[in-house]
Structure formats: C-alpha cells, structure tokens
Structure 1
Amino acid sequence: MLPLPLTCVIVDDNEINRLTLAHLIELTPDLQLVASLVDGIEALNYFQQGSQADILFLDIEMPLLSGLDLPALLPNPAPSIIMVTTHRDFAVHAFALAALDYLVKPVTLERFNVAVSRVREQRLAQAPLLSPPAIPDPHSDASLFVKVGSRMLRVNFDDLLYIEAQSTCSVLITKGQKHVVYSTLKALEERLPLARFARVHRSYIVNTVLIDSVQDNVLRVGSHEVPVGKSYQDTFYRTLRSI
C-alpha cells in the first residue's frame, strides 16, 4: 500500500491552467498540492533547493525553460512526470522524456484520474525496490481516510458495508451514513485490505465480513442488497468458501 497522500507540484505559466489542475487535485482524495509554480526556472530552483514531490504536472510550452527541457535538469529522486499540453503532437516528445503520461488541455477529471492511476501503479511496482518489506501491523487495516467535501474523514472498516461507483465518484455506504468521494472505485480498491473487501461487480466492492446472506447472486449486507456480477461470481464464491 502506498504512503498517502501523494504530493503534487504544478508548473504552468498560465494561471487558469494552474487553478484547473489545483481543483482536480483537490477533488482527488489521495493527492495533496504542495506547490504551484509559474515557470520552469522557478520549478528548477524549487527542486534544486531540496524540495520533493511524488507527481509533477508539467506544462510543455513555457518561456525560458520549457517542459521538454526541465526533466533532464531535475535532481534525484525525481517526481513522476505528467506532461500537460494543448497539442497532441507533443505526446511523442513527452514519452521520450520518460513522462508517465500526458494530458491535453482542457483537462477532464476522468482523464486526470487515468493519469494519476498510472502513477499509483508505477509506485506500487517500485515499492519493493525502494524499501524492505514492512512487518504487518494487525491494527493498520482498521480504517482509511477519504476526502469528503473539504474535510478528511476516517471511515472504520467495521462500519463500511460496501462501496458503489457512480459516474466520476464513489459512494461509501456505512452502517449509518453515505459518503460521496470523488475517487474511482479502482483507486479505492487499491487502498482496501483483500482480507476484508472483494470486488463483486464492476460497480461494487463489498465488505465480506459484513455479508449476512447470499441468494440468487444477490448479497444481503445489513438492510442493503448488492448484485454479484457474472464475471466476478467464480472468484467471489471461492473467496466466500474460504471465510
């Protein structure tokens, strides 16, 4: 599991573009904006002075020092780079510079989430190489923090019945409340312990510990019913037999 939140730096000489990216970061629960910079020179100074970030959202077309030139000058450890441009033609240059992804302006939340998911996947793959295996903590999987509105909310796994995907957000159903979170179901799934939660449908993750009954591929969880998708049935029922 990744250390959260992932810290972000924006570099763009256009104020509207910076504000747009800052808003998308704010809508994403496991991201935190630590700097919003106006050009490549300011960004180079920021990183050379010892500041670090997990993700760098980097505009390509900037005066003095462009987004195509800045990556080669960044000290290690360098952030994961997501290029931002108005021209799709720059995509080849972006990937040649080992950028993980590129976004075309205007940036949509859906496309933004795809790019951030690639950063998460890259960092999960690198995690065993960066640090020795951690000793499991029996209390570490008791809850998770999610961003609900303007606050970070702790959700206890003992109370979380299931999660449902709805458009660009997800709804966490607990024993007493519903919480709308601007995150994809896949991103939330990566933060949940496999011993307690299972994907049972393309739109549902369920707390297997709190399942009351199963009938006709429909789960009863408290007073709620959750369908089991056809492509998930074999895996889910194998999991259920092992509980």
Structure 2
Amino acid sequence: MNPTVAVSLACVIIDDNEINRITLERAVQRHDQLTLAASFPDAVEALSYFHAGGQVDLLLLDIEMPHISGLELVRLLPSPKPAVILVTTHASFAVDAFELRVIDYLVKPVSYARFCQAITHVTEQYQRVPAPVPAPLRAPSAAEPDASGPNDISASGTDLFVKTNGKLLRINFEAVLFIEALSTYVVLVTDKQKHVVGGTLKSIEDRLPFRHFVRVHRSYIVNLHRVESLEDNMLKLGQHEIPVSRPYQEELAQRLRAL
C-alpha cells in the first residue's frame, strides 16, 4: 500500500465580487495544504497571468463574471488542465460544471467546513498517483505560434478560421454580433456563445475581409447586418447595447444609410 503523500497546492482565486474573493482568500490562508498564488477580479486578468507563465494547481473559480464566464474560462485553459472548484450563487450550473469535469461545485455562501471537504477531494486526486497531477499551466514555448500572430484569422467565404484555445475554429461571421477588446484578447460574441482570440482589436480589424464590420468605439467592432436600432449613440444588437463614440459617429451613419 502506498504511503499517503503530503500535498501542497498553489491556488488561484477568480471572482468579480470583492467580498466573496476576500472570503475565499481567507479560507485558503487558513488551510495548511494551500498557498495563494494569485487572486483576480475577472477571467481576463487571469488569462494574462497564465499566458505570462503563472503556475497553478487549483482554480477556485466564480461562474458568473463579465466578459468571460468561469465555464468559458475552463474551456479556454490549455491541457492538461488544473483542478477546478467552481464557486457560485446558483446551483443551476451544476450540470454544465460536471460536464467539464470540475472537482467540486460550491454554492455561496460557502462554510469553511464545506470548503475543506472540497479541498480534500482535490488532494485525494493527487494522492492516487505518484506524480503530481494535474500539471501546472505554462506559458507558450518559443516553438509555439504567438497568440497575436498573423495566422490567427483566415477567410473562406462568410466563414473565418479563428485561432482560439490552441486550435483553428471555423466561425460563420454572419452569426457574430460584435467584437470586443479585452486587454490582450478580443472576444467574438455570437447569439449563443463567445470566442476568445489573442491579439488587439486593431490587429483583428486589419484582417477582417468583411466591409459590414465597422469600428464604432475604441473597444468595439460591430456587424452592421445585425444592428437592430441606433438611439442616443447606443447600438442595439440582440440583447446587447454597444456605445458609439464621437470619432466614429459620422462614418457609422454613412455606412448605415448605404445598407
């Protein structure tokens, strides 16, 4: 019988609610098998941390966050993925969570006893094998393509092949409502989901072959074919409202009249 292996886990906390984040930080600090590597108010900052070479064994992750949800972040993490414990105010996400093979699912407010139970589930995963698993996240090596390189987008008719999460994904751009800039990433927002792509909004704009995609703000490019209305310099696209900043108003009006 193998002896029990003492496990020490480096944790990252991601939660946009400051009180919840501080509560989790204190729980981590109280637990003798955990160390806090980093704590972030949103998934965008966390992605930048990981791609800069941050290492983590365990994610304590909120689900409902702006821009990129916790579930979306789990899908974006490179393989092998770290252990993940989801922490949320709603139990309705449990099915989606376990389809992603998270270790545990905690519903806020989380008692310290329940938190420790979830950590035990993680440490048991490590103790079943001699080598530590899962492996920490790593920064891309020099041999891997740069996330903001010129090959992130290639066109085929109304579809584009977009590099996301280390693979090329075909996206029908008629389904894209708008493109939003987030730090060193951009998010392609469709009716049903979001796709995170490395690079700046300017680099994506320069490579888009479709004239009906127009810059309306320093942080947004919109699909004019999907615009439902324009009122008080706010564009309505499905359930989303996108601001139009002053430098882009005249060109937008001309393009809308030309449709």
Normalised by the size of structure 2, how large is the TM-score?
0.48
Aligned to 1:19: 22
In the alignment, residue 53 of structure 1 is paired with which amino acid?
V
For residues 103 and 95 of structure 2, the distance between their equivalents in structure 1, rounded to whole angstroms, comes to 12
1:50 aligns with 2:48: no
Alignment partner of 1:50: what SS? coil
* RMSD over aligned Cα atoms: 1.6
Q: Deviations over 1:160-198 (max 9, x none)?
A: xxxxxxxxxxxxxxxxxxxxxxxxxxxxxxxxxxxxxxx
Aligned to 2:83: 80
Q: How high is the sequence identity, in percent, across the aligned residues?
A: 51
In the alignment, residue 37 of structure 2 is paired with which amino acid?
V
In the alignment, residue 68 of structure 1 is paired with which amino acid?
L
Distance of aligned partners of 1:129 and 1:60 in 2 relative to their CA distance in 1, 3 Å threshold:
closer
Normalised by the size of structure 1, how large is the TM-score?
0.51
For residues 49 and 3 of structure 1, the distance between their equivalents in structure 2, rounded to whole angstroms, comes to 29
Q: Give ranges in structure 2 of 5+ residues lacking alignment.
A: 134-259
Q: Deviations over 1:123-152 (max 9, x none)?
A: 11233586xxxxxxxxxxxxxxxxxxxxxx
- Report deviation, 1:30: 1.2
Alignment partner of 2:124: what SS? helix
For residues 132 and 88 of structure 2, the distance between their equivalents in structure 1, rounded to whole angstroms, comes to 32
For residues 67 and 129 of structure 2, the distance between their equivalents in structure 1, rounded to whole angstroms, comes to 33
1:109 aligns with 2:112: yes
Whether contact under 8 Å (2:89, 2:108) holds in the other structure is yes
2:72 to 69, 87, 100: 69
In the alignment, residue 86 of structure 2 is paired with which amino acid?
M
Whether contact under 8 Å (2:64, 2:88) holds in the other structure is yes
For residues 80 and 129 of structure 1, the distance between their equivalents in structure 2, rounded to whole angstroms, comes to 11
Q: Give ranges in structure 1 of 5+ residues lacking alignment.
A: 131-243
- Report deviation, 1:26: 1.0
In the alignment, residue 29 of structure 1 is paired with which amino acid?
D
Whether contact under 8 Å (2:12, 2:36) holds in the other structure is yes
Distance of aligned partners of 1:53 and 1:89 in 2 relative to their CA distance in 1, 3 Å threshold:
same
User: Which stretch of the first structure deviates more once superposed, 4-13 or 57-66?
Assistant: 4-13
Aligned to 1:126: 129
For residues 41 and 98 of structure 1, the distance between their equivalents in structure 2, rounded to whole angstroms, comes to 22
For residues 32 and 77 of structure 1, the distance between their equivalents in structure 2, rounded to whole angstroms, comes to 21
1:5 to 4, 8, 14: 8
Aligned to 1:155: none
In the alignment, residue 110 of structure 2 is paired with which amino acid?
V
For residues 4 and 124 of structure 1, the distance between their equivalents in structure 2, rounded to whole angstroms, comes to 8
For residues 17 and 63 of structure 2, the distance between their equivalents in structure 1, rounded to whole angstroms, comes to 11
1:97 aligns with 2:135: no
- Report deviation, 1:75: 2.0
- Report deviation, 1:25: 0.7
2:35 to 29, 32, 39: 32
Distance of aligned partners of 1:36 and 1:129 in 2 relative to their CA distance in 1, 3 Å threshold:
closer
Superposed, 1:205-220 pairs within 5 Å as none
